[in-house]
Amino acid sequence: MVRKTDDTKPEDFSQKQVEPVAKSSTWCDKYKAKHRWIRIEKFPDGIEPPQKVRIYRQNDYFRLQFWDPAAKKNLTERVDGDLVTAIFRAREIEERLKHFRSSGLGRGKLKNQSLLDLYQSHLQRRADAGEIDPKTVRRYGSALEHYRCFVNQPLISTECPSATNVNRELVLQFQSHLKNLQISSNGHPNTEKHSMVSTDYVLDVVRGMYIWAADPDRGNLMPSGFRNPFQGKFRQTESVAPDLFGEPDITVPMAVEFLKKCDSYQLQLFALLIFYGLRASEPCFLFRDNLTSDGWLKVVCLPQISYRTKGRRDKRLPLLEPIRTLFEKHSRHMQVGLLLHRRSVWEGTEKSPLVNYSLNEITKEYNSRCRKSTNLSAEQGIQIRDQLLQEAGGLKYDHIENEFHRLADQLSWPAEATLKDFRHLFSTAMMNAGMPEYYRKYLMGHAVSKSAISTYTHLDQLREHYLEACQRQFQPLIVIFTSRSTQMCSAA
């Protein structure tokens, strides 16, 4: 072909077109026979060929090719040896395909990033199904982020490009990485950094991810025979268990001074934390419906609005007479709605549109808003619930903690005394009063026991044991609380 260029000189491209073809044919002549797949279709007499697995010869080894329903694609496996070895391996794969609809090869080139994404997607689906709490997904995601940063390092990604290549050496390198890692306490880049305390938790989360990936009934991502290098009790933590000898960081005399400083709003808020050791988030989900006419306060899961207590356990608390009087007869308390509100709502400086909504009305509004969202996830459900409680005048953990720190600063308490130490005080006082452990675990919301005896044991003297324990250990607290409650009720 002859074509004229811009300067009208003819230019011949025939040689330029021929050279690549000649080069390509030279490569084929040299390597075609070596890399070509030759299917084995004729087998020796008396040998039945595999039905689901195709056998090819390539160079000096064999290739097995088959459709894997679990992986939803064609997979191949290299077999070194003779034809008998290839047929034997093909029959093994065929048996697994027949009985388990999986070859057991997993995903041989599964990247670490892909494994992390698949596992977190699985956790999210479990949360949407109600098996785990969305907060668990976030905690696991935070732990797995450390592993993601580790495997994305250039040296590690070169040594271990695939999730199936993990070994004991990689685990040791990851442990060393966590030990030397400097993190901030709240994740903010400007806060002071320190060494990680919960390295064992991160390792346990990663171990659980590989257990899930290797399980043929769950992840089914690893080849059969995969050994999880994170498995086993080979780790020795450097953390030291705290010394429980001595008094808790908040003692009964300190709690007495705390109640003396409480105003009318704080008194009702901290009464439940001091006298019953509630978790700081549990008062946020108490409704007037939880108060019974026979003097009990129920702390229960509310699955109808996507709330479950830690441990998913319901309990009821025997109300002391001054506490019952405060919640039932105080003029500022409403007859319906949440039991406790934000300070601004309680004082009347903020108007909340759903402040008078009962639990049933909140539930109906929650279901109505959820129906407006398509493909509602567990995280979206919690956001809708939190918005509803916000509109109902509810308080959050931060509100309770701020009220606590305001009083603790006035009393010049040490930094070691935290909001959670009210639970330490309650549990210690109940034990010192001789309350049986079975009752103490129930009041604390802990699992009682897995033994059969727990099924046959009923808590038929809960009120008696609690009142007796309070008279022995909490008498100074009851006296000051009664005095303060009476003053505030009369003033109101």
> Regarding predicted confidence, which is higher, 334 or 477?
477
State residue 30's pLDDT score.
74
> For residue 57, which phi and psi values (nearest 5 degrees)?
-105, 135
Q: What percent of the chain has pLDDT over 90?
A: 58
CA 252 and chain centroid, separation: 35
d(CA 435, CA 412): 32
Residue with tokens 């990663």: 206
Digit-coded pLDDT (tens) for 188-224 = 777 888 888 888 899 999 999 999 999 888 888 888 7
Tally of residues, the chain: 492
State residue 2's pLDDT score.
42
- Averaged pLDDT for residues 86-111: 83
Digit-coded pLDDT (tens) for 30-73 = 777 778 888 998 888 888 889 999 999 988 899 999 998 877 88
d(CA 452, CA 111): 46
Cα distances (Å, whole numbers) of residue 489 to 220, 296, 481: 64, 21, 12
Q: For residue 388, what are the contacts with CB-CB under 8 A and spacing of at least 6? A: 305, 354, 362, 365, 366, 369
Q: Which residue, 264, 333, 258, 323, is CA-closest to 487?
A: 264
Label residue 448 by pLDDT band (50, 70, 90): confident
d(CA 274, CA 268): 10
- Burial of 4 from C-beta contacts in 10 A (0-12 / 13-18 / 19+): exposed
Is the overall model pTM greater than 0.85, yes or no? no
d(CA 380, CA 373): 9
